[in-house]
Every structure is written in C-alpha cells, then in structure tokens.
Chain A
C-alpha cells in the first residue's frame, strides 16, 4: 500500500530564507505528483504538477523535483515571504488504477516570520 510522508510536520523560518519541504513515498508506481497549498480554513490550491516522466517543474519562486527511484519529491521555495505561510501538501496520483485518485501526505505547516 502506498504511503506518503512529509517531514517536517512544521517549520518556522525568517523572511528571506530559502527552504525545502520534503515528501517521500514507498511505491514508485505513480502517475504524477502534485503540490498543494492550503491556507487556514480554506481549500487546496494547486501549486505544481509533475508527471511521472518529468524530473522537475518551476513556477515563480517555487521549484518541485521528483525522483521516483528514491521515492522522494522536494518543494523548494526561494526567498520566502510571510505570505508563503500556509500548509503544504503533496499528493501522488495512484499508480495502481487509472482513476486519478490522489494519496496525500499529512502536510508541512510553514510559518515565515517577518
């Protein structure tokens, strides 16, 4: 059974720092990996989608990488800002079925201090 783990559960950094969020998974048979942002009491906003054949995707200050062989993905945030404070979730497209089901990690809650 696929398991997704995000470490650390919480992270606090000063403004301006570059940071890396980690996502690990146990089964390399995935269709894709998607990073989401969740603000308190809000829904999920898609940040980046990496297909299984890709190694990385970039959007602005965000860069996500995927290494299926080692079962890892990282989300790199450059020059962090207080507005980046949120919970970040990674989710895998379940490779055992062609239905688009997602398997989520527990999330990393990020606080960027001014």
Chain B
C-alpha cells in the first residue's frame, strides 16, 4: 500500500524559477489537498480538490496553481518562485466528505534562494 506519494522529497529553486510538485494516491480517494508547513507552525491549506476537474483555493493560494485531471493525481505548480515559498509541502487525501480520515504524504522540502 503506497498511500500518498510525493515527489521530489527535496528541491532547491532559484528566485523566479518554476516547478511542479507531484502527488499521487492509490486509495481511490475523491478529496485531495495541498498544505504548507513553515517552521514551528501548523499546516495551512493552499488548494484542495473534491474530485477530478474540481479545484478550489484554500487559505494561502497566492503564487500556486493546481489541476486535477485524474482521481489519482493532484500536482501543485509554483510559478516564479519567491523566498516566501520556502517551506515543507504536504499532499493529503481523504475518501469523501468531512469527517473522514486524512492521509498524508511524506512531504517535499523546498528552498528558494
């Protein structure tokens, strides 16, 4: 059981570069989420999706984009990377509506220099 898989695990970007963080889940979950975690802080929601073709903004969406073309995959795109986007990014999924358990990937540690 792979669960939620994120790639890459680590990445260093230069200011202004772009990249895509990959997330895939094999649990046939409808709901998927991207969170970021800054040092000493809890996680904050960037974007989420309730099914293929449906995405919506979370608390901190600026500077990011997402797409959901399949149930399994939910990539997060960073355009024009900025130092403020240095963080650890977590992808998560859950089976359905609120009240169901969320499962998290191992995270992507991103540094923008």
Chain A interface residues toward B at CB < 8 A: 4, 9, 31-32, 34, 36, 41-46, 49, 51-52, 89, 91, 93-95, 97-102, 104-107
Q: Which residues of B contact A101 (CB under 8 A)?
A: 33, 45, 48, 58, 98
Interface size on B, residues (CB 8 A): 29
A42 in contact with B106 (CB, 8 Å): yes
Distance in angstroms from B108 CB to nearest chain A CB is 10
B104 surroundings in chain A (CB, below 8 A)? 36, 43-46
Judged by a CB distance under 8 angstroms, whether B83 is at the interface is no
A51 and B48 contact, Cβ closer than 8 Å, known pairs A4-B42, A106-B40: no
Across the interface, name the chain B residue whose C-beta is closest to A51.
B99
With a cutoff of 8 Å between Cβ atoms, the chain A residues found around residue B101 in the complex are 34, 46, 49
Contact of B102 among A4, A34, A98, A105 (CB under 8 A): A34
Looking at chain B's contact residues, the main secondary structure is strand
Q: Are B97 and A98 in contact (CB under 8 A)?
A: yes
Question: Bound complex: CA of A104 vs CA of B103, how far in Å?
Answer: 14
Q: With contacts A31-B99, A32-B98, A51-B99 known, is A104 near B106, CB below 8 A? A: no
**A99 partner, pick from B48, B90, B105, beta carbons under 8 A:** B48
Q: How far is the CB of A97 from chain B (nearest CB, A)?
A: 7
Asked if B98 contacts A93 (CB within 8 A), the reply is yes
The smallest C-beta distance from A90 to any residue of chain B, in angstroms, reads: 9
Among A9, A46, A100, A105, find the residue whose CB has the most chain B CB atoms closer than 10 A.
A100
- Residue of A whose beta carbon sits closest to that of B99: A31
* CB of B96 within 8 Å of the partner chain: yes
